[in-house]
């Protein structure tokens, strides 16, 4: 996107206890989107309720500037899911170090990244990660103190089973969908199908399962949906 260009950016708040999903649509430039524009709507949506706040492409906005204060003003029952999204390579290091600071302050509960994004995130925060070794990258990420309690590294588009890595409390578990013949398409926004399905799965009641089993099931089902849509 051209810097300063105007675009319709929507922020969605999904409350477990409410039938509706309030939406705020911002018509300014993406990089100028700030919490003051959306916080009141988020507070109304979550007041006294449990829900999920999904922040996608947050590195391309100005939301990271005052995120700690904004998150503190939301209900403590809100699960904050962050997908930082791609950013300008020239700004990547600065943005990724800001993201690490926010995560250390407890501003995110679940982090979603691609392997490429995770590698850039680790490097920006001083870790030496081999370029072509995803196993070493996962180990470095899990051993670091940069991540929130839950991180999901969504696999790159590649033929075969759709895959993802779940890191919970520093433990890595590999997940995959059920279509071994999947050939990813070039559909714009195809990767968002995974995120949308993951949010939907996290909303489902699975109280009889352990946290790890709930997250594993949500990730697998999101992979299955992703491969069915792209």
**Mean predicted lDDT score pLDDT of the chain:** 80
d(CA 78, CA 53): 7
The yes-or-no verdict on residue 192 having pLDDT over 50 is: yes
pLDDT tens-digit map of 6-59: 444 455 555 555 455 555 555 556 666 677 767 777 777 777 667 788 888 878
What is the CB neighbour count within 10 angstroms for residue 44? 11
Element (H, E) at 13: strand 9-15
Each residue of 81-98: pLDDT tens digit?
999 877 666 667 888 999
pTM above 0.75, yes or no: yes
* Eight-state DSSP code of residue 51: E
Angle, helices 115-124/134-143, rounded to nearest 10 degrees: 50
* pLDDT given for residue 89 in this prediction: 63
CA 220 distance to own-chain centroid? 16
Of residues 138 and 94, more confidence is placed in 138
- Give the H or E element holding residue 121: helix 115-124
> Between these two residues, 178 and 168, which has the higher pLDDT value?
168
Give me the residue label for tokens 């399962």.
209
Q: Is 212 exposed, middle or buried (0-12, 13-18, 19+ CB in 10 A)?
A: middle
Largest CA distance in the chain: 48
């Amino acid at each position: 996107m051209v810097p300063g260009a105007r675009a319709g950016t929507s922020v969605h708040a999904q409350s477990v206890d409410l039938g509706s999903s309030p939406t705020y649509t911002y018509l300014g430039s993406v990089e100028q989107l700030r919490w003051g524009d959306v916080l009141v709507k988020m507070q109304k949506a979550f007041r006294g309720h449990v829900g999920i706040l999904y922040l996608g492409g947050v590195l391309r906005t100005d939301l990271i500037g005052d995120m700690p204060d904004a998150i503190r003003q939301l209900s403590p029952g809100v699960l904050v899911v962050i997908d930082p999204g791609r950013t300008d390579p020239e700004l990547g290091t600065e943005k990724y170090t800001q993201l690490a600071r926010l995560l250390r302050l407890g501003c995110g509960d679940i982090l979603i990244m691609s392997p490429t994004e995770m590698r850039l995130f680790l490097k920006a925060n001083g870790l030496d990660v081999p370029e072509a070794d995803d196993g070493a990258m996962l180990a470095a990420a899990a051993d670091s103190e940069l991540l929130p309690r839950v991180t999901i590294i969504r696999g790159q588009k590649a033929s075969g089973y759709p895959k993802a890595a779940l890191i919970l409390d520093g433990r890595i578990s590999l997940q995959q969908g059920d279509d071994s013949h999947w050939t990813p398409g070039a559909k714009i926004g195809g990767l968002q199908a995974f995120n949308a399905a993951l949010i939907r799965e996290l909303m489902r009641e699975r109280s009889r399962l352990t946290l790890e089993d709930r997250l594993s099931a949500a990730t697998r089902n999101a992979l299955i949906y992703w491969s069915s849509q792209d």
